[in-house]
Chain A
């Protein structure tokens, strides 16, 4: 729902809608365009881009934030780490669990390698999962890989690497076949013909989709196949450094446990595939971004330190229509289809300021210009935006058009109580894609032996401009190729002695350039989530670095029973359902806070989840079900107040055991110290004439 100030602005927009509908805003001339872009576009803002001073791409230009990351110090102290022993020894190590990583792992396994897949967050935390576009492939009689090649290279302003584009368009149809054999359900006609659409910059109908969620459909099938093949998937383990051997080959990686933040895991691998994804969350020049929470260019930093060349690092792509309100959706892209259907822009005065079907660069510049000139609309969070007038579509094409043509956008806004058929959307340019990345050849190999890369972390396939629906294709094609090449390389490679010599060299190089006090890379988690203190210095201290045995590994923080024993006994002796107070004594809850608060101590909320387990397990309520009619609530509060009177409690402690929010230490204590007492006490009540139904109940329970 929009705030009051925004609602006032919406009223103004509605007032001028009629006028804007009739008005034909002229397209601007080529000269005006170049002036507009030069003055306003993010690419031309002073200080946005600077030069790299060290490393394989020394002298190239890249965004400031990326330069700082690439020239960062390593998290690992090479003097501390003992590489004599390793924790895992595999053939192919895949970093990243997006489309490219999963495909690479599968393809390496198909080619007979022992594979391990590790990822920074959960398996399904990736950009591929939330990708709603389609996949391009020449599958129609009037289409061919040649036309696909021409479309792609023209779309990328002819800066694409021809070998990579050729491989991509050539593999495209067989990729669709491969996905079908995995069980992906593409949109089809009844006779099996694939249904295709036009995409950005395509000259044929070439974009395949699966009901608008192709990314998810692909990932869940890949995941199922990975599980079936028994490929180990280790989660919450980001890579923080690559290991090399004495003949300068990559020979594995050091990972850190993101949950405890203390253990480091050393993996020796004959080949490493980097599939760590994009870099949107670095927030170049403070722009919002489309990318997933974990897109921090980790792989780029790792590869840069071992000396792998990158390219086109300054080719950044913005989408003019990124959502800016509601806050939860900031950065998410709005498809150009909305504008093609007739939605026009309007500033705070309700005026048009640009023709709505100009190219992305021009629109981006114009929106930035309006906002810097003070014609932007301020959101409650202080961000500036421009109205994209979606109700116009309904006026132009009749009611119901938006629900029919744009169901996903409609439904997304619906969850925030915004009806886009009546209210406009607030937009601002958003970082869409960085075309630069690690330089690879057509087999996914980088310039360093044994190091492969695939997916968004690579560059060069799309030139300077990505055509949206080529992204999934790139990810799958090069994921498959990198996996295969890595598996084949792993068969012949002989690793030398493992070292971290490259970190020492990197430090010397930084010192020579006077950069040794730079920040640490990779950052792993966006700055805004960690409030600036990105990485704690005690992460990798000497004593903590030793690998602990399985049983010694730190567990989740739970309450120490010695501290609370007296009060706990008092609670347990009181005649009232003890679950709420046991929860209060606990340190950890099962709430979502745990997951979001990973950088700090894991202390969750202690509130009742309302799961109703304590209500269900209470023997008194079970014996007298009519008590349930007193209330609809299933919280522990209802149990204590409405369902039972305090003195009625049998003190069986079943509610404590059943509650997911109570620490296991408390549960163990209750079971070990109190249960025998409880059972014997209940046992003594068998045969009591006042409670005939208790007999049956207890006998059943005790048997």
Chain B
């Protein structure tokens, strides 16, 4: 039985995403060691996913959160970069924070999605759904086979 290693090593910072703002200052207050990178490039060499880790850390230092999110997207959270880091950074956690900030604050939201959620809460589809639920199999099969498939 083990607790996750990151929690024991205290490499992962604890934060409340809803309290943060997407800015450079934010990332470096959550992870102050970000500015201790020694540019040794061990992280990039250790990455099994061929991510250019040092490059995205440099983007993070410059405060380009969208860049970090894009470059680090195929990260599998194995933690090898943090293991090899001579400056004591945990690059994969820094990238995760940037991705979450990007996904929550910087990426524009779909208007259609909020419309449809509102409509469902309002109960617009209730009647149709309960009608379908009561339908017998033969009728349902007919409806299924007759449904229009939008190209």
Binding site for B on A (CB under 8 A): 123-124, 138-142, 144-147, 149-151, 153-154, 158, 162-163, 166, 169-170, 173-174, 176-177, 180-185, 188, 190-194, 203-205, 211, 213, 216-217, 220-221, 223-225, 227-228, 230, 232-237, 257, 259, 263, 265
Contacts and interface: CB of A to CB of B under 8 A. Distances in A.
Given A158-B140, A183-B17, A233-B3, 17 more contacts: A139-B110, A145-B125, A147-B147, A151-B147, A154-B140, A158-B137, A174-B117, A188-B110, A191-B108, A192-B109, A221-B100, A230-B14, A233-B4, A234-B1, A234-B3, A235-B1, A235-B3
B143 interface: yes
B9 interface: no
Contacts of A139: 110, 112-113, 116
The majority secondary structure among interface residues of chain B is: helix
B14 A227 contact: yes
Contact of A192 (B96, B111, B144): B111
Q: Which 3 A-B pairs have the closest CB atoms?
A: A183-B100, A192-B108, A154-B144
B131 to A, nearest CB: 9
Contacts of B144: 150-151, 153-154
A273 to B, nearest CB: 19
Given A192-B109, A203-B148, A177 B132 contact: no
Interface string B95-132: 01101111110011111111011001000010011001
Given A145-B125, A227-B6, A230-B14, A259 B112 contact: no
B110 A192 contact: yes
B69 to A, nearest CB: 6
A227 B90 CA distance: 15
A237 B12 CA distance: 23
A166 to B, nearest CB: 5
Contacts of A223: 77
A177 B3 contact: no
Contacts of B69: 185
B3 A232 contact: yes
B62 to A, nearest CB: 20
A162 B96 contact: no
A224 B100 contact: yes
A183 B73 CA distance: 13
A192 B74 CA distance: 22
24 contacts: A123-B4, A124-B77, A144-B116, A145-B120, A146-B128, A146-B132, A150-B144, A153-B140, A153-B144, A154-B141, A158-B137, A162-B133, A166-B133, A177-B117, A182-B104, A183-B99, A185-B102, A188-B107, A192-B109, A193-B112, A213-B74, A216-B76, A217-B73, A265-B1
A211 B77 contact: no
B75 interface: yes
A96 B117 CA distance: 30
A498 to B, nearest CB: 21
A221 B111 CA distance: 23
Given A184-B103, A188-B107, A174 B133 contact: no
Given A150-B147, A180-B109, A188-B107, A220 B96 contact: yes
Nearest to A230: B14
Nearest to A129: B76
Contacts of A151: 144, 147
B2 interface: yes
- The winner among A146, A185, A228, A230 for most chain B CB atoms within 10 A is A185
Counting chain B residues whose Cβ lies within 8 A of the other chain, the interface size class is: 35 or more
A566 B110 CA distance: 72
A194 B113 contact: yes
B126 to A, nearest CB: 9
B132 to A, nearest CB: 6
B3 A183 contact: no
A237 B110 contact: no
A589 B77 CA distance: 23
A237 B3 CA distance: 10
A224 B96 contact: yes
B139 to A, nearest CB: 10
A174 B120 contact: yes
A629 B75 CA distance: 35
A181 B109 CA distance: 10
Contacts of B143: 150
A188 B110 CA distance: 9
B74 A193 contact: no
Contacts of B75: 220
Contacts of B117: 173-174, 177
B103 A183 contact: yes
A181 B147 CA distance: 34
B113 A158 contact: no
B144 to A, nearest CB: 3
B149 to A, nearest CB: 4
Nearest to B138: A158
A205 B149 CA distance: 10
Contacts of B101: 183
B125 A146 contact: yes
A223 B125 CA distance: 34
A260 to B, nearest CB: 8
B103 A185 contact: yes
Nearest to B14: A228
- The winner among B73, B104, B110 for most chain A CB atoms within 10 A is B110
Contacts of A190: 108
A80 B61 CA distance: 58
A153 B132 CA distance: 10
Contacts of A225: 17
Nearest to B15: A228
Nearest to B93: A224
Interface in B8-37: 12, 14-17
A338 B140 CA distance: 32
Contacts of A180: 103-104, 107, 109
B112 A141 contact: yes
B116 A173 contact: yes
A442 B19 CA distance: 33
Nearest to B4: A233
Given A185-B99, A228-B14, A150 B132 contact: yes
